[in-house]
Chain A
């Protein structure tokens, strides 16, 4: 995905220099802060589980889910705002890459959020214990990977001109 970005950029330097100026830095920054905060909440959920504080772990996970939903809402309105500016996948190669990368990430946040809700359900049924909570660890790692992808996307598409 990032190789596509770099290749498109070297072949279209002017378009990629101009592209980020028309995107909403506010939306990109807000979603970065939300993703980082959600990752922090997931870390706290894992720490709580290790301390055998199941209810606390569930609360931290719901906080992460809230962040996930907030991210999706902001991204939806960002796309709407782009459309109002006349930006689409066909505007130029920068926006084609932008929609390819960010919509891909949007989908991962969507089903990542759904997976966290599934882990909350599993926690509430008492399947996970202080010693054995591999499902929670797995979704935590998956969520951090989504976060890592976004902190890479943010400078590439919104910051570097």
Chain B
């Protein structure tokens, strides 16, 4: 039973490493555009959820604590996409 849990954690670690190497590849090779920004936002969301749910073991914790932490990885990826799609509007709303 415990061996299975360790193996699961090892697989997640490998997934995180592969996603990071993929991000590095994107940084060097991909042309800037909505596709690459959306993929980066998705990669961030996946990596965040893996760490929050399984490394921090919050998947089965109190729902308020869990939701607050998980929310972080919906909000930041959403902001990445919104800032890419609507920079002028957001800039206009945030002038003092």
Give chain A's interface residues, CB within 8 Å of chain B: 2, 6-7, 9-11, 13, 17, 20, 25, 28-29, 32-33, 36-37, 39-40, 42-44, 47, 51, 140-141, 144, 147-148, 151-152, 154-156, 158-161
Tell me the bound Cα distance from A158 to B9 in angstroms: 27
Contacting pair A33 B56 (CB below 8 A): no
Interface residue SS majority, chain B: helix
Interface string of B1-23 (1 = CB under 8 A from A): 01001100110010011001101
**B residues 25-42 in Cβ contact with A at 8 Å:** 26-28, 32, 36-37, 40-41
**Contact between chains at B20 and A159 (CB < 8 Å):** no
CB of A25 within 8 A of CB of B28, answer yes
Q: Is the CB of A44 within 8 A of B6?
A: yes
A151, closest chain B residue (CB): B47
- Residues of B near any A CB (own CB < 8 A): 2, 5-6, 9-10, 13, 16-17, 20-21, 23-24, 26-28, 32, 36-37, 40-41, 43-44, 47-48, 51-52, 55-56, 72, 76, 79-80, 83-84, 87-88, 90-91, 94
Docked CA distance A158–B17 (Å): 16
A contacts with B: majority SS: helix
Are A144 and B55 in contact, CB atoms less than 8 angstroms apart? yes
Bound together, the chains give a CA A107 to CA B91 distance in angstroms of: 31
